[in-house]
Amino acid sequence: MDKNKQRRTMIIYMVTVILAIVLFNQFLWPSVLQSQVKRTNYSEFLSSVDASVVATVDLNRGDETITYTLRGDDSNKVIYETTKFPDDGTLVNRLEKHGVEFKATVPDTRAATALALLINFLPLIFFIYLGWRLNRTLKKSMGEDGTSMNFGGDGLFGGMGVGRSNAKEVKGEETGVTFKDVAGQDEAKESLAEIASFLENPERYASIGAKLPHGALLVGPPGTGKTLLAKAVAGEANVPFFSISGSEFVEMFVGRGAARVRDLFKQANERAPCIVFIDEIDTVGKRRDAGLMTNDEREQTLNQLLSEMDGFDNHKGIVVLAATNRPDSLDPALLRPGRFDRRVPVELPDLAGRTAILSLHAKDVKCLPGLDFGVIARSTPGASGADLANIINEAALRAVREGRSAVSQEDLQESVEVVIAGEKRKSTVLSEHEKQVVAYHETGHAIVAATQKGGAPVQKITIVPRTSGALGYTMQVEEDEHFLSTKQEMKDRIAVLCGGRAAEELIFGEATNGASNDIEKATSIAHAMVTQYGMSETFGMVALGQQRNRYLGGGTELTCSEGTAEQVDREVQRLVEEGHQTALNTLKAHRFKLHELARYLQKKETITGEEFMAIFTRDDGFAPKLQPQAQ
CB atoms within 10 A of CB 517: 15
Q: Which residues in the chain come in under a pLDDT of 70?
A: 1-11, 13-14, 17-18, 21-37, 61-63, 73-77, 86-89, 106-169, 171-174, 250-255, 289-296, 311-315, 554, 620-631
Which residue range(s) make up the domain with 186? 168-288+295-345
Q: pLDDT of 169-221, one tens digit each?
A: 676 566 778 888 888 888 888 888 888 888 888 888 878 888 888 889 999 99
The answer to whether 182 and 232 have CB atoms below 8 angstroms apart is yes
333 in the same domain as 359: no
Question: What is the pLDDT, as a whole number, of residue 493?
Answer: 94
CATH code of the domain containing 549: 1.20.58.760
pLDDT at site 151:
37
Tell me: do 534 and 612 sit in the same domain.
yes
Task: Provide the 8-state DSSP code for 43.
Answer: H
Tell me phi and psi for residue 411, to 5 degrees.
-65, -40
Is 101 a domain residue?
Answer: no
Residue 312 belongs to a domain: yes
Residues 231 and 177 sit within 8 Å (Cβ to Cβ): yes
Pair 377, 478 in one domain: no
As a residue count, the chain comes to 631
Are the CB atoms for 501 and 519 separated by under 8 Å? yes
Residue pair 310/338 in contact by the 8 Å Cβ criterion: yes
- Residues 479, 590, single domain; the answer is yes
Residue 189 backbone zone (phi > 0: left; psi -120 to 50: alpha; other: beta)? alpha
Residue 41 lies in a domain: no
Q: What is the dihedral of CA 535, 541, 546, 547, to 10 degrees?
A: 40
The three-class DSSP label of residue 367 is strand
Alpha helices (H) in 24-148, listed in sequence order: 29-34, 42-50, 91-97, 109-142
pLDDT at residue 313, as a whole number = 60
Distance from C-alpha of 580 to C-alpha of 497, rounded to nearest angstrom: 8
**CATH code for the domain in which residue 368 is found:** 1.10.8.60
| Residue ranges in 532-620 assigned as alpha helix (H) | 562-589, 591-604, 609-617
Quote the pLDDT of residue 629. Answer: 44
194 and 240: one domain?
yes
Q: Given 312, 328, 345, which residue is the final one in a domain? A: 345
In this structure, are 251 and 390 located in the same domain?
no
Residue 129 lies inside a defined structural domain of this protein = no
Cα 309 to Cα 77: distance, rounded to the nearest angstrom: 68
Closest among 616, 380, 408, 384 to 477, alpha carbons compared: 380
SS in 3 state form for 492-518?
Answer: HHHHHHHHHHHHHHHHHCCCCHHHHHH
20 inside domain = no
Check whether residue 446 and residue 401 sit in a common domain: no
Relative to beta strand 241-245, strand 274-279 is parallel
Give me the CATH number covering residue 201: 3.40.50.300
User: Is 157 contained in some domain?
Assistant: no
In sequence order, which ranges of 143-223 are alpha helices (DSSP H)? 186-200, 202-206
Three-state secondary structure of 347-384? CCCCHHHHHHHHHHHHCCCCECCCCCHHHHHHCCCCCC
Residue 133 resides in a domain = no
> Do residues 265 and 308 both lie within one domain?
yes
- Phi and psi for 79 in degrees, rounded to 5? -105, 130
- Is residue 83 a contact partner of residue 42, using CB atoms and an 8 Å limit? yes
Angle subtended at Cα 407 by Cα 404 and Cα 410, rounded to the nearest 5 degrees = 100
Residue type, 222: P
**227, 232, 256: which is closest to 322 by C-alpha?**
227
Looking only at the bridges linking them, the beta strands covering 37-39 and 79-83 are: parallel
Instruction: Tell me, yes or no, whether 304 and 227 share the same domain.
Output: yes
Is 155 within a domain? no
Residue type, 333: A
Question: What is the rounded distance in angstroms from the CA atom of residue 528 to the CA atom of residue 129?
Answer: 68
590: which strand partners?
Answer: none
Distances (CA, A) of 549 to 72, 517, 552: 77, 22, 5
Q: What is the DSSP letter of 156?
A: T
Task: Provide the number of structural domains found in the chain.
Answer: 3
In b/e form, how buried is each residue of 48-68, taking b as 16+ CB within 10 angstroms? Answer: bbeeebbbbbbbeeeeebbeb
CA–CA gap between residue 628 and residue 613 (Å, rounded): 9
Q: Are residues 523 and 413 in the same domain?
A: no
Residue 251: predicted pLDDT: 61
Residues that are catalytic: 442
Q: What are phi and psi of 504, to 5 degrees?
A: -60, -45
Q: What angle do CA 389, 394, 397 make, to 5 degrees?
A: 130
Q: Show Cβ contacts of residue 423 under 8 Å, excluding neighbours closer than 6 positions.
A: 466, 467
Q: How far apart are CA 531 and CA 206, in angstroms?
A: 50
Domain C-terminal end among 345, 362, 379:
345
CB contact at 8 A, 596 and 618: no
Q: Note whether 354 and 388 are within 8 A (CB).
A: yes
Give the burial class of 361: count Cβ atoms within 10 A of its Cβ; 0-12 exposed, 13-18 middle, 19 or more buried: buried
- Which of 134, 279, 155, 145 has the alpha carbon at shortest distance from 220? 279
3-state secondary structure 602-630: HHHCEEEHHHHHHHHHCCCCCCCCCCCCC
Label the pairing between strands 473-476 and 458-462: antiparallel
How many angstroms separate the Cα of 31 from the Cα of each of 36, 81, 111, 119, 571?
Answer: 9, 15, 21, 14, 80
Last residue of a domain, one of 419, 450, 472: 419
Q: How is residue 339 annotated by DSSP?
A: T
**Nearest alpha-carbon partner for 512 in 434, 417, 448:** 434
Let me know whether 244 and 332 are in one domain: yes
Return the pLDDT at 520. Answer: 93
Q: What span, in angstroms and rounded, lies between the C-alpha atoms of 572 and 494?
A: 11
CA distance 446 to 474: 7
Gyration radius of the chain over CA positions: 40
Same-domain pairing of 185 and 246: yes
